[in-house]
Amino acid sequence: MNMHPEAAYARLTARVTRIATINEAAGMLGRDAAAMMPNGGGAARGDQMAVLAGLAHGLATEPQVTDDLAEAETVPPADQWHAANLRLMRHAHTRATAIPADLVEAQVRANSACELIWREARRTADFAMVRPALQEVFSLVRQRAAALAPALGLSPWDALADGSQRGTLAADVEPVFDRYEEFLRDALPRAEALQASRTPPLRPDGPFPLDRQEALSRRLSARLGLEPEHSRLDRSAHPFCGGTPTDVRITTRYNEADFSSSLLSTLHETGHALYERGLPTAFARQPVGEAAGMAVHESQSLIVEMQACRSDAFLGWLGAELQLVFGGVAAPYAPSNLVRLWRRVVRGFIRVDADEMTYPAHVILRFRLERALLAGDLVVADLPGAWNDHMQGLLGVSPPNDALGVLQDIHWYDGLVGYFPNYTLGAMAAAQLMAAVRRAVPGLDAALAQGDLSPLIAWLRTNVHARGSLLGFNDLLREATGKPLDPADFQAHLTARYLS
């Protein structure tokens, strides 16, 4: 038989473009469900998304794909980008063919149904309401993990984690988290003592009209470099970034008594959006042109929100802007007060509101619990109690109700397992990347003091965004910073910011 590897590769690229387009449509439906859809539309939306998932899965697993991959691999492309693209296609095919088609659609329907019940359960702090649906979700998650694990040669949890960040293994994550827990045990009380010895922050007097908050969020997002013609900002119960690189959708949530939540989440989601906007257009809708994984994605949101926009330099500029928007006395908007207000350690219940130092404890809790759930060492019915026990052990606090505990996050109720470590791995990577930026861009703080993130974004465009998925997590960090992930940079950042 005559082999035509170039033609086979061309057929594969056309196919994955079609699959990516279907997934984009599903993503937009998911974004609408979170931001705009009435609850009564949930069942129909679950069917719509299940059908699209089934179509994408069917295209990915047709026999022709097996033949084309084998043919293309006889003479892999010489160009590193196309060679990496082919390897990623093979990896995606291995994952897709391991999962039965009926399981793909069943998971989408179960996740959609559970997520809708979760909304009401969280509002009423009633875990029992969502428990049966969550049991079904985890039953299907375990089936997925059992199918993926042998195909990938990984443990069940690792096989799930591979879907959000290739190369994330529990054996690597666990010692990183154990060492961080040791660091936190010493650093947190020291930071609290130092904080208590200083003047407490002043809180700006509200109310803060929602229309002003929204206008400010839009203006800051545009100032950071997110073009309005390629993006949209809406409201949702849980802030997120979705859409496509040319049509990025971010959301935030507003509180008339406190503008901090909307402001900081907008900066965070804008970091995600800027990454999407910077991905290589030459490989749009190809695996190698996608983001390098969710830990990398989280590093891009956190380098904007935490590293840059909560820096002394940027807060000096932002304080004046806030007073112009909201009025009132100047003192609460002074940079020194914003530092005390937004860089304050608190042993709180809510992950998304946590400070940099305690945030990883929230992730460690979820990492340990979901592994126990997946292994069958913990049953869903016992999850609230286990949650509270772990929270007490890690941070010395116990939620008074499940809305502040096990019901606070959407992820498990939407079938996302193996995902949470990316938040802390991303925070550690953000600190490492920021140290590299500071070495490469001596005038960075001067620009931040003018509210200008363009030098930072330009460096990220070259060293992270434009690289797409050409490199894995650690190889990307190695090229950008000279070393793979080094949690010491994150601890050094926290020590400088909270212990000095």
Residues in the chain: 500
Mean pLDDT of 14-30: 93
For residues 165 and 12, what is the distance between their CA atoms, to the nearest angstrom? 23
Q: Taking the complete model, does pTM exceed 0.85, yes or no?
A: yes
Q: How confident is the model at residue 93 (pLDDT cuts 50, 70, 90)?
A: very high
**Does the pLDDT at position 9 exceed 60?**
yes
By percentage, how much of the chain surpasses pLDDT 70?
Answer: 100
Take residue 30 and report the two structure tokens written for it: 């998911």
Please classify residue 317 by burial: count the beta carbons closer than 10 Å to its beta carbon, then call 0-12 exposed, 13-18 middle and 19+ buried.
Answer: middle
Q: Does the annotation mark 174 as catalytic?
A: no
Query: Is pLDDT larger for residue 32 or for residue 263?
Result: 263
- Do residues 490 and 431 lie in contact, with contact meaning Cβ atoms separated by under 8 Å? yes
Quick one: pLDDT at residue 30? Answer: 85
> Which has the closest alpha carbon to 114: 25, 46, 13?
46
**Does the pLDDT at position 261 exceed 70?**
yes
For residues 293 and 468, what is the distance between their CA atoms, to the nearest angstrom? 9
**Does the pLDDT at position 318 exceed 60?**
yes
Domains of the chain: 5-153 (no CATH), 167-500 (1.10.1370.30)
Residues 6+ apart with CB under 8 A from 237: 34, 119, 253, 410
For residues 496 and 492, what is the distance between their CA atoms, to the nearest angstrom? 6
> Which has the closest alpha carbon to 473: 283, 296, 212?
296
Mean pLDDT, the chain, as a whole number? 95
- Do residues 438 and 388 lie in contact, with contact meaning Cβ atoms separated by under 8 Å? no
How much is the CA Rg of the chain, to the nearest whole Å? Answer: 23
Helices 487-498, 421-440: crossing angle, 10 deg rounding: 80
**Does the pLDDT at position 1 exceed 60?**
no
By percentage, how much of the chain surpasses pLDDT 90?
Answer: 91
Q: 3-state SS of the chain?
A: CCCCHHHHHHHHHHHHHHHHHHHHHHHHHHHHHHHCCCHHHHHHHHHHHHHHHHHHHHHHHCHHHHHHHHHHCCCCCCCHHHHHHHHHHHHHHHHHHHCCHHHHHHHHHHHHHHHHHHHHHHHHCCHHHHHHHHHHHHHHHHHHHHHHHHHHCCCHHHHHHCCCCCCCCHHHHHHHHHHHHHHHHHHHHHHHHHHHCCCCCCCCCCCCCHHHHHHHHHHHHHHCCCCHHHEEEEECCCCCEEEECCEEEEEECCCCCCCHHHHHHHHHHHHHHHHHHCCCHHHCCCHHHCCCCHHHHHHHHHHHHHHHCCCHHHHHHHHHHHHHHHCCCCHHHCHHHHHHHHCCCCCCCCHHHCCCCCHHHHHHHHHHHHHHHHHCCCCHHHHHHHHHHHHHHHHCCCCCCHHHCCCCCCCHHHCCCCCCHHHHHHHHHHHHHHHHHHHHCCCHHHHHCCCCCHHHHHHHHHHCHHHCCCCCHHHHHHHHHCCCCCHHHHHHHHHHHHCC
Ramachandran region, residue 240 (left: φ > 0; alpha: ψ -120 to 50; beta: rest): beta
Residues 6+ apart with CB under 8 A from 211: none
Take residue 348 and report the two structure tokens written for it: 């709180």
Q: How confident is the model at residue 50 (pLDDT cuts 50, 70, 90)?
A: confident
**Does the pLDDT at position 23 exceed 80?**
yes
Take residue 13 and report the two structure tokens written for it: 């690229």
**Does the pLDDT at position 188 exceed 90?**
yes
Please name the amino acid found at residue 21. T
Quick one: pLDDT at residue 372? Answer: 97
Query: Is pLDDT larger for residue 50 or for residue 148?
Result: 148
- From the candidates 24, 269, 298, 305, give the one annotated as an active-site residue: 269
Q: Give how far the C-alpha of residue 500 lies from the chain's centroid of Cα atoms, to the nearest Å.
A: 30
Mean pLDDT of 152-168: 96
Quick one: pLDDT at residue 2? Answer: 60
Phi, psi angle pair for 246, to nearest 5°: -100, -5
Strand ranges across the sheet with 247-252: 231-235, 247-252, 241-244
A 10 A CB-CB count for 194 gives 13
- Do residues 433 and 480 lie in contact, with contact meaning Cβ atoms separated by under 8 Å? yes
Q: Give how far the C-alpha of residue 301 lies from the chain's centroid of Cα atoms, to the nearest Å.
A: 8
Mean pLDDT of 292-319: 97
Quick one: pLDDT at residue 428? Answer: 98
How many Cα atoms are found within 13 Å in the side-chain-facing hemisphere of 158?
15
Pairing outcome for strands 247-252 and 231-235: parallel
Take residue 330 and report the two structure tokens written for it: 């100047």
Give 341-387 pLDDT, tens digit per residue. 999 999 999 998 899 999 999 999 999 999 999 999 999 999 999 99
